[in-house]
Structure 1
Amino acid sequence: MTHVLLALGILFALLAVNAHRPSRHPVLLAPSFFAGWWTIELAPHLLAAEAAALVLTAWNGGLDGWAGRAGLVLGAAGAAGLAATIAAARRTTVTLRECGVPFELDPGPAPRYPRSHLVVPPLCLIPRRGVRVQRNVTFHEDGRLRLKLDVYRPSAEPAEGELRPGLMQIHGGGWIIGDKREQGLPLLNHMAVQGWVGFNVNYRLSPRATWPDHLIDLKRFLAWYREHAAEYGADPDFLCVTGGSAGGHLTAMVALTANDPDFQPGFEDADTSVQGAVPFYGVYDFCEPGPWPVPFGSTRLVERWVVKLPFAENRDAYAKASPVTHVREDAPPFFVVHGSHDSLIPVPEARRFVEQLRATSRAPVLYAEMKGGQHAFDVFPSYRTARVVEGVERYLTGLHRQYRRGTGPAVPGEVADSLDRSAQDGPVG
């Protein structure tokens, strides 16, 4: 048992180190990400499992030799690293408040994310009490192509004449994988509990689809929403958009290319504007390397599978696929969220996008950098996810409140004041 305890200690120590210093080596990138992702967002569960494994192994003779004692020391160090990870997640609320999220929009405390989901994460797959889900609604059909979505809305019927705010969720997956059933569930359930109508939207995937098919499909949803939102109790004139990773890139593109005829073939006159955008850990620039060794557009994934054009000879096409190219003065309000320990899309990608957006857009731009957060952190209903979900709901509720008052697409005054301060201090972490 001594060597078993040593092996456990080495494993637990490596998991903790990887959580704090994920590898970006091409060979280790994927395993490092998955190990760090699960370790960081399920840290309390893993800490309990590690403690139980160390105690049981030591109790059954694991400390009879030097190897076991060394393993116990390494295991304890790994547990301490997990404790530090948990402590970083506990600062999420502080980070959100510092970036300007209006947690106190109402006199009483806002409803919180259910603790049961934090203890048993798979519960997020089940619609929450007070939420009904209508699955596989077709929003576009063309020959054999059928694009579908899932609708999340309150179980209670709205008051007569009342229309609820709408939220569009775009899944990630590198433009090649992913589905509406897999991502955005903690947020959509929570928003429905708070009176929103959420639409988890599918779109064509590469390599079968070629850019900009993905964006065109999402624009088709926007056109469909204007015509059919009221059937689901949603306001056709108010819709915000969110998504993570490739969905974060598409969220920014949807928000910044409103009514662009190049991305609306055959439905150029449709209104494809949105009233707010919350991209999570997205890619915003395909042309300039920035935090990447080479431009992201020149990677095998994007060049050969998504855009399918040689990067060197078609930089204009890649620029047109980059949200930074479409930054404009009349952009809708943005709330950009990214993890500081993201090993797939380094956090400087978000920082430079926020800097460019703030320099041009007249609307407020919030930026929350999650200390210790990995890529796709919000897929698990962890403590960090719960606080971010609550923060996004408060932010979007603020946008909707101003919309109903007719004061324009901006966040509440107290948020604008905090943005003035954060703009002087730089990105909030």
Structure 2
Amino acid sequence: MTTRPGLDPELATLLGALPQAPPLSAETLDLIRSYAVVPASTALAGHDVDRRDVTLTAADGGSVGLTVLSPTGSDGEGTRGGAPCIYWVHGGGMVMGDRFSQIDIPLEWLARFGAVVVTIDYRLAPQVGGTTLVEDCYAGLVWTAEHAAELGIDPQRIVVAGTSAGGGLAAGTVLLARDRRGPAVAGQVLACAMLDHRNDTGSSHQFDGPGVWSREANAFGWRCVLQGEADVSAYVSPALAADLSGLPPTYVDAGTAEVLRDEDVTYATRIWAAGGQAELHVWAGGCHGFDALFPGARLSAVAREARTRWLDRLLVPSEQP
């Protein structure tokens, strides 16, 4: 058996208490999808937000939903003419989840910064594939920027953020925005991001077999997206992008005990090599998505606060002496 970095003891205990899910496959996907969806009323319970649901027409004519969440009673008049915006892209291996998945993460930033959260319900593989998922996400970003004044958003403080598959789609969306000279993006947050369809890093080989997100599950998710295509777009698999220059400030994090660790580290390293700014955190003992799964764990609290402090430096103007 391949030697692996060990799990944080608290996370190991919490994981051991979870019921064992069946391996992800075409046969089990519908069942696992049903576990992954949290009702909006549950996801938003205890948060003081105003909610607006919108349906967009995607590039291929399909319908894509998004939800705008604003601090209750906010009038959009913050410093610099509007509130910061978190454009949220949910996780789920590109095959499951919805716009309210992991929504507690950006809702912390709504409460902390008075941010408007826009969360996209991109269509899932295998029902769609190729560039469709990232094009859905890009369409939502364009809509957000075009409606910034109406939503009370400062268009110069839009951050694209996502976790797991959402982190990969966030990276692809930001690449599209750069290459199409689209909406200005102030920063991107890529948490345990699914960036490389090749699934052939050292960490991908370390974490085969049962786990929160394994090499086998990763391969299944990518097969559902790529659907046999030989010519894979860098907007779908951002690790393929030949040029990572011109990207906004980037926050990348992952755990040491997860399959996506090495592709995330490599992406941050390549941003530095291209002259960009990236902050990288690799959390010792963290499994895939640990801070979303177990927000009350000590390691999760530290990881979440580190992201929030980075956003504070990015979004909140420093007071000049």
Query: Common fold, TM-score beyond 0.5?
Result: yes
Q: Is the 8 A contact 1:140 1:221 kept in 2?
A: no
Partners in 2 of 1:253 and 1:241 — Cα distance? Answer: 10
Partners in 2 of 1:339 and 1:220 — Cα distance? Answer: 31
Q: Which residue of 280, 283, 286 maps to 1:367? A: 280
TM-score if structure 1 supplies the norm length?
0.57
Matched, 1:224 2:143: yes
Amino acid at match of 2:147: H
Counterparts in 2 of 1:382 and 1:230: CA distance versus 1, 3 Å:
same
Q: Which residue of 312, 323, 345 maps to 2:238? A: 323
State how 1:7-406 maps to structure 2 within 5 Å. Answer: 21=6, 40=11, 43=14, 125-128=43-46, 131-140=48-57, 145-158=62-75, 160=77, 162-183=81-102, 185-194=103-112, 195-261=114-180, 271-287=182-198, 289-291=200-202, 292-293=204-205, 299-303=219-223, 305-310=224-229, 314=230, 316-317=231-232, 321-326=236-241, 327-342=243-258, 345-360=259-274, 362-379=275-292, 380-383=294-297, 384-401=299-316
Partners in 2 of 1:346 and 1:142 — Cα distance? Answer: 30
**Per-residue deviation, residues 103-135 of structure 1 (Å, max 9, x unmatched):** xxxxxxxxxxxxxxxxxxxx9834445x21415
Task: Tell me how far 1:153 sits from its aligned partner.
Answer: 1.9
**Per-residue deviation, residues 359-389 of structure 1 (Å, max 9, x unmatched):** 11x3321011112111121223223333333
Amino acid at match of 2:107: N
User: Unpaired segments of 5 or more residues in structure 2?
Assistant: 18-40, 209-214
Q: Is the 8 A contact 1:168 1:241 kept in 2?
A: yes
User: Unpaired segments of 5 or more residues in structure 1?
Assistant: 1-18, 23-35, 47-122, 262-269, 406-429
Q: Is the 8 A contact 2:199 2:219 kept in 1?
A: no
Partners in 2 of 1:247 and 1:158 — Cα distance? Answer: 29
Identity percentage over the alignment? 26
Q: Which residue of 2 aligns with 1:65?
A: none
Counterparts in 2 of 1:249 and 1:388: CA distance versus 1, 3 Å:
same
Q: Which has the higher helix share?
A: 1
How big is the alpha-carbon RMSD for the aligned residues of Structure 1 and Structure 2?
A: 3.6
TM-score if structure 2 supplies the norm length?
0.74
Q: Is the 8 A contact 1:152 1:188 kept in 2?
A: no
Counterparts in 2 of 1:286 and 1:163: CA distance versus 1, 3 Å:
same
Partners in 1 of 2:60 and 2:263 — Cα distance? Answer: 39
**Per-residue deviation, residues 148-198 of structure 1 (Å, max 9, x unmatched):** 122222224247573001011111111111111222x22222111121111
Counterparts in 2 of 1:148 and 1:372: CA distance versus 1, 3 Å:
same
**Per-residue deviation, residues 260-317 of structure 1 (Å, max 9, x unmatched):** 35xxxxxxxx723411111111122334722245999x945423x211225xxx2x42
Partners in 2 of 1:198 and 1:321 — Cα distance? Answer: 23
Partners in 1 of 2:234 and 2:137 — Cα distance? Answer: 19
Counterparts in 2 of 1:148 and 1:301: CA distance versus 1, 3 Å:
closer
Partners in 1 of 2:15 and 2:265 — Cα distance? Answer: 29
Q: Is the 8 A contact 2:295 2:301 kept in 1?
A: yes
Tell me, what secondary structure is at the counterpart of 2:147?
helix
Partners in 1 of 2:12 and 2:83 — Cα distance? Answer: 32
Tell me, what secondary structure is at the counterpart of 1:258?
helix
Partners in 1 of 2:196 and 2:260 — Cα distance? Answer: 12
Amino acid at match of 1:257: L
Partners in 1 of 2:50 and 2:77 — Cα distance? Answer: 21
Amino acid at match of 2:236: A
Q: Is the 8 A contact 2:65 2:120 kept in 1?
A: yes
Counterparts in 2 of 1:237 and 1:173: CA distance versus 1, 3 Å:
same
Amino acid at match of 1:390: E
Count of aligned pairs between the two proteins: 278
Tell me, what secondary structure is at the counterpart of 1:317?
coil
Partners in 2 of 1:143 and 1:136 — Cα distance? Answer: 21
Partners in 1 of 2:305 and 2:74 — Cα distance? Answer: 23
Partners in 2 of 1:127 and 1:400 — Cα distance? Answer: 26
Partners in 1 of 2:160 and 2:115 — Cα distance? Answer: 12
Q: Is the 8 A contact 1:40 1:373 kept in 2?
A: yes
Counterparts in 2 of 1:247 and 1:44: CA distance versus 1, 3 Å:
closer
